[in-house]
Amino acid sequence: MSEMSSHWPDPFPVVEGSAIGIIPNPMSGRDIRRIISQASVFPNTEKASMVLRILRTVGTLGVERVLLSTDTFGIAAGVHREIKRMSGARSTAHVRWPKVEFLTLERPTGTATDTTAFAETMAGQCSAAVVLLGGDGTMRAAVPGLGDTPMLALSTGTNNAFPVMIEATVAGMALGMIATGLAPEPTAHAKLLHVEVTRANGGVQHEVALVDVCVNTLGEIGARALWKADSLRELYCTFAEPHSIGLASIAGRLRPTGRHEPRGVAVRLADPSVAAHTVLAPLAPGLLESVGVLGSTELQLNVPHPVELDRGTIALDGEREVEFGPDDAVTVTLAQDGPRVIDVPAVLAASAPAWPTTRVSP
């Protein structure tokens, strides 16, 4: 507790039962785009610092408990070490940390399924919200685990259209306000793209994407990232902002569509050498490419779109994830059944009246 609190009432007493979850993805941001363009490298030490800034903020705001995912890359270990160091130093001993529970998985895989499993555990342990630090892929991996628990998506990845770049302290303020009941939870659900692949043997594979689904001619998942303009054929977007990066930027240049509009965008693409016209779009950081365009249209909710290409791969939020061939039937459907997403500026604006102020002199 701060020295002030011995003279003034604590403006944010600890709220019993309040909790949030934090999942920093240790693997984000090291893919092939470092070779093909000047994509950024986001160090794990910075992710640990972001977690600490969130912890310190929500602790100050009275959140009782934080569930933190653990990893073998030093993020959770760095957080643990720093809290211990700060608690033992006279200058920082007053910082009120929440009770941090370090979650472990019985059988970690080192893949995206760990993110799903952590999200599920946190959702099941009454977290008011789960904050994810990562890229579009990290956010997508969390969706099946979160259920109805609100998510806050902070960008630390390469090619991010979905998570936002916002200071972790400010994100922590929004989380703290929600967790302690001073701000309402988000009610609206984000849009989600559903991909259904019906295999020749009758098996059905279901995948989701938060930002874009891109059907392309590359036959292999390979290095996953997708940046070759001449391979792109069909693009489906939940939203397309003029300032987005990655595949959705194509639609963002052609037919800007907001995150909260009840529609998406579909774009038919072709090799730029044969297309009627081209659009210059930032397919990866530093990589403006000419993309061949045949046409674009509004994507209506709940209408399945059959994929026309007969062989290739499907990229979900910019990463090739599904291979398909002529015997497989693929459909893409936009729905309003994604996660509830915390909009930090909106939460802070709405909760301003609840933000306590204290008198400076008695």
Partner 1 sequence: MTQTLSTLGSDAPDASALSEAQLLDVYRTMRSIRAFEDRVHEEFATGDIPGFVHLYAGEEASATGVCAHLDQDRDTIASTHRGHGHCIAKGVDIKPMMAEILGKTTGSCHGKGGSMHIADLSKGMLGANGIVGGGPPLICGTALAAKIKGDGGVGVAFFGDGASNQGTTMEALNLASVWNLPAVFVAENNGYGEAAASTWSVSADNIADRAAGFGMPGVIVDGFDVFAVYEVAGEAIRRAREGGGPTLLEVKFTRYYGHFEGDQQTYRGKDEIQNAKENLDCLKRFRKRVADSGRLTDAQLDEVDAQVAQLIEEAVTEAKAAPVPGPEDLVTDVYVKY
Residues lying near partner 1 in the complex (CB under 8 A): 26-27, 30-32, 34-37, 41, 43-45, 72-74, 217-224, 227-228, 231, 284, 286-289, 313, 323, 325
Q: Identify whether the C-beta of residue 261 lies closer than 8 Å to the C-beta of residue 300.
A: no
Q: How far is the CB of 3 from partner 1 (least distance, A)?
A: 37
Residue 104 burial (CB < 10 Å; 0-12/13-18/19+)?
exposed
Q: How far is the CB of 28 from partner 1 (least distance, A)?
A: 11
* CB closer to partner 1, 269 vs 334: 269
* CB closer to partner 1, 5 vs 205: 205
Q: How far is the CB of 29 from partner 1 (least distance, A)?
A: 9
* CB closer to partner 1, 27 vs 142: 27
Q: How far is the CB of 230 from partner 1 (least distance, A)?
A: 8
Q: How far is the CB of 33 from partner 1 (least distance, A)?
A: 8
Distances (CA, A) of 216 to 267, 268, 270, 277, 307: 12, 11, 10, 18, 10
Q: How far is the CB of 232 from partner 1 (least distance, A)?
A: 13
* Helix, strand, coil percentages for the chain (3-state, nearest 5): 25, 30, 45
Q: DSSP class of residue 54?
A: H
* CB closer to partner 1, 33 vs 191: 33
Lay out the sheet containing 319-324: strands in order across.
Answer: 277-284, 287-299, 264-270, 232-237, 212-216, 312-316, 319-324
* CB closer to partner 1, 167 vs 220: 220
Q: How far apart are CA 193 and CA 24, in angstroms?
A: 24
Element (H, E) at 332: strand 329-335
* CB closer to partner 1, 288 vs 346: 288
